[in-house]
Amino acid sequence: LLTEGLAGIEPVEVSGIEN
């Protein structure tokens, strides 16, 4: 889960940063 938050696929942990 690195750039997943950016794509909005599965933002679980790093989502709070980008998503």
**Helix/strand number for the chain, H first, E second:** 2, 0
Has this prediction a pTM greater than 0.85?
no
Q: CB of 13 within 8 A of CB of 4?
A: no
When pLDDT is averaged across residues 1-9 and rounded to a whole number, the result is 59
Predicted local confidence at residue 12, as pLDDT: 62
pLDDT category of residue 11 using cuts at 50, 70 and 90: low
